[in-house]
Amino acid sequence: MSRIGLIAGNGRFPGLVLEAARALGREVTVIAVREEASPELEALAARLGGADVHRVSLGQLGTCISLLQAAGASEAIMAGQVKHTRLFSGVVPDLTLLKVLGRVRSKNTDALISAVADVLAEHGITLVDSTTFLRPLLAGAGTLGRRAPAGDERRDLEVGYRVADVLAGLDIGQSVVVKDQAVVAVEAMEGTDEVIARGGRLGGPGTRVVKVAKPNQDMRFDVPVVGVPTIEAMRAAGATAISIDAGRTLVLDGAAFVRAADEAGIAVVGREP
């Protein structure tokens, strides 16, 4: 089978993609973002039969492309978060990335990664759906744990949908925290766990979390992801319910995620498309 490139950020997502791709017989070349990717990727690659792992700084897009071309990869997949704030804190772009930055009017996620995808395509590398190897991990619809949201929780989730859908459509953030039908915190560049924590500090116990996909979500990048750390953040903040979008949210370690939610008494619901 053809070789695929894995452009890896932080978290469990890249490792799961690597495992699934190797299980399907795909050869993989890993481009690990030096500032973000897990230090365990090399060990995992070795256990899975020696996938190549190259650590490349965030600004070195030209190096990334050269490595993928040298490996014969005609496709690439992005997995794992890269903190957007890094673009404003010391990234040294190479000439290739400078050309990308020159193409975009703003440094929001969609604009930047779409431009990167275009440059990859110009060099013969197609960026593919980031859930390609992980479709079974996409959230189902309806109540996902032991407890369905209660009436007051559902009312807060409905408020969260109206706000989060607008924010996501503007490519600002994908998560909001609501309590008593008042928006307590909204996500920008800080990430879901941090906005959950801020919502807990501002609103106290009893907050609810809504995490949505963008209205026209490009499944090649920035797909919503939740996992056990999401539940741990909610437990610490005193949040009691979370909604995620069915079919468009990856649930990492799904059984453990639901078990952690049940143990914490947190209601989890997958919103119908």
Which secondary structure element, helix H or strand E, spans residue 30, and what is its range?
A: strand 27-33
The pLDDT assigned to 248 comes to: 96
- Other C-beta atoms closer than 10 Å to the C-beta of 190 total 16
| Model confidence at 114: pLDDT above 70 | yes
CB atoms within 10 A of CB 243: 27
**First-to-final CA distance of the chain:** 34
**At residue 104, does pLDDT exceed 90?**
no
List, in order, residues 6 or more apart from 5 with CB less than 8 Å away.
Answer: 28, 29, 30, 31, 67, 68, 71, 73, 75, 76, 77, 125
The total of other beta-carbon atoms located within 10 Å of residue 170's CB is 12
pLDDT digits (tens, 9 = 90+) for 66-76: 999 999 999 99
**Mean per-residue pLDDT for 156-166?**
98
Listed residue (229, 228, 20, 247) closest to 134, CA to CA: 20
Radius of gyration of the chain (CA): 19
Helix (H/G/I), strand (E/B), else coil: 124? coil
DSSP state letters, 134-192: -GGGB--SEE-SS----HHHHHHHHHHHHHHHHHHHTTS-SEEEEETTEEEEE-SSS-H
H or E element in which residue 46 lies: helix 41-47
H helix or E strand, kind and range, residue 77:
strand 75-79
What is the model's pLDDT at position 58? 87
Helix (H) or strand (E) holding 271: strand 267-271
The whole-number average pLDDT for the span 133-156 is 97
Averaged confidence pLDDT in the chain = 93
> Which residue's entry shows tokens 């941090």?
194
pLDDT at 87 over 70: no
In the structure encoding, which two tokens stand for residue 265, read together?
């008494």
Alpha helices for 87-150 (secondary structure H)? 95-103, 109-122
The string of pLDDT tens digits covering residues 2-36 is 899 999 999 899 999 999 999 999 999 999 999 88
* Residue pointed to by tokens 């498309």: 273
pLDDT in tens, 117-127: 999 999 999 99
**Are residues 135 and 248 in contact, defined by beta-carbon separation less than 8 angstroms?**
no
Q: What predicted TM-score, i.e. pTM, was given to this entire model?
A: 0.90
Determine which of 38-47, 200-209, 235-244 has the lowest per-residue pLDDT on average.
Answer: 38-47
CA distance 173 to 189: 7
Interatomic CA distance for residues 119 and 124, integer angstroms: 9
What pLDDT sits at residue 120?
96
